[in-house]
Copies of this chain bind each other. A is one copy, B any other.
């Protein structure tokens, strides 16, 4: 059997009418064969959607049996009614699986400030249960069911051997900028058959998120619904993970999440470039992240990349206003392998060559080196185009 899907899960997607387009799935269901270990990380926005409140209170856990996601409506800023609707959603799924509502996690993504169309969803839930299955096609339908303005589904898979047993990881995510009207950007679910404790799952997720999903930006606008879930069925019978086997799993999970995370700015609304920002030689991780984020969010850096302009001044000055103290004379900037700035003065470089390398490649690499220490981070952003502005200014609430 060559399926990339780990054992222990059934998946499916269905269009029930939350989205207008009848060809787009708006319900995504994952059902676990048995009680399953699950952990989550969530948006740090103070204003959070009903499903985030629900899931936060129920993870980490070793008793999760299902994840139900609707797209097209974020169930955010919807008050008490939003909490009730979310609880009903979990309750219906729990009833069908034959477990308690507390064993069901929920996610929502889409328009904010509107109540869920519960009639449509109730009918849709009957249907999506009919469509559950264990194949990649079922996983793909579930992955499409969490999409909003994404151009296509975002999925990734990894396989490895742990304690002599084959282990699978598979993940889906969605996000393309703060979707109109800008809520509920990023959702992701990772499934594995490795054996993890709830505490391990939570710790692994936190470790890995810091270097992956927490290192991407499209427009710097953090949503109310961001959720990343890890579900571990244990069906690979790896035994308890510790030491080397835990490291192996963490590395695989890291790579999977990095693959998924990069797909978000790569599909950033209107974007024409994925920008990878490498910050090296910082005193500590906080400093490095702060510089990376400042460069990544600068409208001027982004528009320079859009225009294929090796405009080093914009990058260097963004680092300068990040709030991090560093020796400006020690700063060095390399774009797509070309040295542009060193020791406080511009370096002679062939502008046309660098410009062409930006234009010819979807990915632009920006490396900023400092002389404060040994810490490095990577960060991913999208460029800023006329289409982004058009998309977000022409949309009507």
Number of copies: 2
Q: Check A390/B386 contact, CB under 8 A, given A47-B320, A300-B221, A317-B47.
A: yes
A220 within 8 A of B: yes
Q: Are the C-beta atoms of B183 and A113 separated by less than 8 Å?
A: no
Q: Which of A30-38, A244-252, A257-265, A306-314 contacts B (4 or more CB under 8 A)?
A: A306-314
A346 within 8 A of B: yes
Q: Which of A62-70, A128-136, A196-204, A321-329 contacts B (4 or more CB under 8 A)?
A: A321-329
| Docked CA distance A200–B335 (Å) | 47
A residues 219-262 with Cβ under 8 Å of B? 219-224
A389 within 8 A of B: yes
Q: Are the C-beta atoms of B77 and A321 separated by less than 8 Å?
A: no
**Residue of B with least CB distance to A223:** B317
A77 neighbours in B (Cβ, 8 Å): 313, 316, 341, 344-346
Q: Are the C-beta atoms of B299 and A224 separated by less than 8 Å?
A: no
| Docked CA distance A321–B113 (Å) | 17
Contact of A303 among B222, B318, B393 (CB under 8 A): B393
Q: Are the C-beta atoms of B345 and A46 separated by less than 8 Å?
A: no
Q: Are the C-beta atoms of B386 and A317 separated by less than 8 Å?
A: no
A176 within 8 A of B: no
| Docked CA distance A334–B208 (Å) | 40
Q: Are the C-beta atoms of A392 and B219 separated by less than 8 Å?
A: no
Q: Are the C-beta atoms of B44 and A112 separated by less than 8 Å?
A: no
A149 within 8 A of B: no
A392 neighbours in B (Cβ, 8 Å): 299-300, 303-304, 307
Q: Are the C-beta atoms of A299 and B221 separated by less than 8 Å?
A: yes
